[in-house]
Structure 1
Amino acid sequence: MISDETAYRRYLAGEEKAADLLVEKYGDPLTLYINGYLKDMHEAEDLMIEAFSQIFAKDRPITGAGAFKAYLYKTARNLALRHRKKHRHSFLRFEELDFEPQSDVLADTELSRRERSRQLYDALEKLKVEYREALYLVYFEDMSYRNAATVMNQSEGQITKLVYRGKQSLKTILEREGFTYADE
């Protein structure tokens, strides 16, 4: 598997399929990320396409592991913030995945998992926006602290603090609401 940065360079060199690889890899997750800002999946899809278009339109200084993803998400974030400013929406709602259990045991397990996920997502909604976004980028998008810092226009140290404080706040909210941990 080639790196994102290599695929980007190949696209710029004229290899159209390299762009398809990047869009296939990041299109859906990026749309969900943008939708967190907009709460409108159709607009999020449009902005996802716009984010890729801006990056593919001209050669950008994208080098280093994870740099393409960080640059892409930063571009999308800026587009979403501009759009949201025009339309005055709030940030990040998560959507649950559909799952059809194959047996009663799986149904009970899946019901329990969904309830725990709902509790987690409800608690995430109660966090400060900065905490929620930092946690989302680091844990849901699997970004490094450095790349999350790039996306959020923060220093790596600030992201470290946001993630730490976000986890502490999330734990407090969950405990206050009676959340039980899986290993208890």
Structure 2
Amino acid sequence: AYLYKAARHMALRHKSRRRIIFSLDDLTREPEAQTLVEEIVRTKERNQILHLCMDELNSDYREALYLTYFEGMSYQQAAEVMWKSVKQITNMVYRGKERLRGLLQREGITDVEK
């Protein structure tokens, strides 16, 4: 059962992986490069804070949020991967978002979507 869960999780994760790679040096040739680079750095810092806060979450909340938001899975797909019901996933995502919002606010990020 565990191997099935892990294999399914990897298969679903593989479908959603795409990376766009670019260099900040390439952007410095653009007219508004400084503003764009500053925004990218700010976004990178916010992402680091997000990941640190995610690490503080209960593991079930973290996995439910990761699967639904970062991997783009439906609640049904996440339920299958985690061996939970859709209702349990709904509750974990809600509670995880509430806890994550509090952690982000503690770190000074106050403009978090509900």
> Considering the TM-score relative to the shorter chain, is it more than 0.5?
yes
| Counterpart mapping for 1:15-164 below 5 A | 51=7, 72-73=8-9, 99-101=22-24, 102=27, 103-164=33-94
Letter in 2 for 1:73: H
Q: CA deviation at 1:99?
A: 4.5
Paired-residue identity, %: 41
Change (3 A) 1:182 1:73: closer
Higher RCO (Cα < 8 Å, 6 or more apart): 2
List alignment gaps of at least 5 residues for structure 1. Answer: 1-49, 52-71, 77-96
CA distance in 1, matches of 2:76, 2:10: 12
Deviation digits for residues 88-114 of structure 1 (CA, Å, limit 9, x no counterpart): xxxxxxxxx865220222210111110
Change (3 A) 1:106 1:143: same
**SS of residue in 1 equivalent to 2:105:** helix
Change (3 A) 1:147 1:169: same
TM-score w.r.t. length of structure 1: 0.46
CA distance in 2, matches of 1:153, 1:74: 15
CA distance in 1, matches of 2:94, 2:107: 20
- Given candidates 169, 173, 180, the residue that maps to 2:99 is 169
Contact 1:74–1:152 under 8 Å retained in 2: no
Letter in 2 for 1:165: R
The alignment yields a C-alpha RMSD, in angstroms, of 2.5
CA distance in 2, matches of 1:121, 1:137: 14
Runs (4+) off by over 3 Å: none
**SS of residue in 2 equivalent to 1:143:** coil
State the number of aligned residues. Answer: 94
List alignment gaps of at least 5 residues for structure 2. Answer: 1-5, 13-19, 28-32
TM-score w.r.t. length of structure 2: 0.72
